[in-house]
Amino acid sequence: MAGLGEYRRKRDPGRTPEPVPADDALPRGDDNTGNDNTFVIQEHHASRLHWDVRLERGGVLVSWAVPKGLPTEPGDIRLAVHTEDHPMEYATFEGEIPQGEYGGGKMLIWDRGTYETVKWSDREVAVVFSGGRVRGKYTFFHGGKSPRDWMVRRSDPPQRPDWAPLPDKIAPMLATPGSLPPADQDDQWAYEFKWDGVRALARVDGGRLRLFARSGNDITGTYPELRPLGEELGSTQVWLDGEIVAFADGKPSFAALQRRMHVTEARLTRRLAADLPVTYVVFDVAHLDGRSCLPLPYTERRALLVSLNLRGPHWQTSPSYPGEGPAVLATARDQALEGIIAKRLGSRYHQGKRTPDWIKITDLRAVEVVIGGWRPGEGRRSDVFGSLMLGIPSADGLRYVGQVGTGFTDEMLRTLTAKLLRLERKTPPFATPVPRERARGARWVRPTLVGEVVFRDWTADGRMRAPSWRGLRPDKRPEDVEGWHGDGR
């Protein structure tokens, strides 16, 4: 019979709610038959989230801590740390282990049931689980020098024949600029507010969150306050789509978000997360627990998203309003929001494509641009730039689309001027002519910085009318900027 000496040494029964049997207590199985067939898997929110897999054997629960949870696909191998044996009473334990105690944190029963032993030796344990969530054959095997160094692999195929592995990458679906659908088609659409933030896709596997910008760049480290979302989702495997938003005075502020977007140094990101936290506003789900959601209509994806109940200190589900286009647009205008997105109820998720199934409706147009030069400022802006010379990529090169001189804070002016001075070049980078009166006195730069502006409309000669600066886009490269279509879109 295995012993509980190590278990008892690590726990003080006066300080933890965990069961701590007396030294002379006789361990026994739940069914009192000696079949050694009970298992429990507990989701343990300790200093690091993990899953404790416990198998009844010789009157105790032989235990492994699995950081990412049991593997879901055949051949997938994951770390499984062999820990001390636990008393059988632990099979029903749920509760909060006090901080400072061994294993401090919340303990929840994630699954339980019975198992069949295929093989049990000092170096290999093969079992077949029959639980509510876990079914099939798994093999634990010793894989290192220390007695704690074990691994676990799934030996059976998934129970569901349609199981699909979690993709490594997902490309976001994009919206087409437009206006409200006709009134007689309003009930075929759902409407969501357009948040003034940056697009982000979230991949969660084994309780670990990774965030990706629209470009595909990993931005997880920039927003540390969003990592607990992975722990909240636990063993759920999912790709989420949404927007990272910074709120100021209760409203989205792209200017505030600017202070967060370019920061990657860990100490600084932690400080900014405390001083200027962001919110991840989730509006779609692309993959969920072995099932691709891409072919599903919007209504089904929306129901799956709502079922995840995403509401936390730094994340929330974006509200959706079917058949209420004019009212939602009026509310967005009243609240000075950027606009709304209309989404066709029956539409699938078109990965990486811009389609009319999502319509972006705003009073202002937004466009990403490449900075090609600047004109010196005057008066109080004599030591910084006065306006930026902007372009959009085209088949012939960078097409000049105008200049912008409004929308800048003093901090933006100073920071951006310093960047521009380091990028100076002698000739304009534009493939199309810059009007002579604009080019006079301008200073040219290497076209490496991407920004975003809003404007009223395009002029007949392809210039932006009444543009205003929104901010740099450090998550974008010039080659990521959508090219010129010839009609100003």
Indicate whether 224 pLDDT > 70: yes
Tens digit of pLDDT for each residue in 135-159? 999 999 998 888 899 999 998 877 6
Give the total residue count for the chain: 489
| Percent share of the chain, pLDDT over 90 | 66
pLDDT score recorded for residue 1? 39
Indicate whether 63 pLDDT > 90: yes
Indicate whether 279 pLDDT > 90: yes
Buried b (16+ CB within 10 A) or exposed e, 71-102: bbeeeeebbbbbbbbbbbbbbebeeebeeeeb
Of 86, 79, 85, give the one whose Cα is nearest residue 142.
Answer: 79
Of 11-25, 394-408, 453-467, the range with the lowest mean pLDDT is: 11-25
Tell me the catalytic residues. 194
Question: Please, which pLDDT band fits residue 34 given cuts at 50, 70 and 90?
Answer: low
Query: Helix count (H) and strand count (E) of the chain?
Result: 8, 31
What's the whole-number mean pLDDT along residues 324-350?
Answer: 92
pLDDT score recorded for residue 121? 93
Question: Please, which pLDDT band fits residue 114 given cuts at 50, 70 and 90?
Answer: very high
pLDDT score recorded for residue 21? 76
pLDDT score recorded for residue 23? 61
Which residues are within 8 A (CB) of 49 and not within 5 positions of it... i.e. 6 or more apart? Answer: 43, 67, 207, 230, 231, 234
Indicate whether 485 pLDDT > 80: no
Indicate whether 482 pLDDT > 90: no
Write down the pTM of the prediction.
0.73
pLDDT score recorded for residue 337? 86
pLDDT score recorded for residue 32? 46
Which residues are within 8 A (CB) of 444 and not within 5 positions of it... i.e. 6 or more apart? Answer: 372, 373, 389, 424, 425, 426, 427, 428, 429
pLDDT score recorded for residue 486? 56
| Percent share of the chain, pLDDT over 70 | 95
Indicate whether 481 pLDDT > 50: yes
- Higher pLDDT pick, 206 / 212: 212
What's the whole-number mean pLDDT along residues 218-234?
Answer: 94
Beta strands in 155-217 (DSSP E): 174-177, 189-194, 198-205, 208-213
Report CA dihedral (292, 298, 301, 303) to the nearest 10 degrees. Answer: -160
Domains (range + CATH), the chain: 4-154 (no CATH), 174-362 (3.30.470.30), 365-480 (2.40.50.140)
Q: Which amino acid, residue 161?
A: P
> Distance (Å, rounded) from C-alpha 193 to C-alpha 190?
10
Question: Please, which pLDDT band fits residue 261 given cuts at 50, 70 and 90?
Answer: confident
Of 53, 134, 46, 148, give the one whose Cα is nearest residue 91.
Answer: 53
Question: Please, which pLDDT band fits residue 466 given cuts at 50, 70 and 90?
Answer: confident
pLDDT score recorded for residue 2? 55
What's the whole-number mean pLDDT along residues 256-263?
Answer: 87
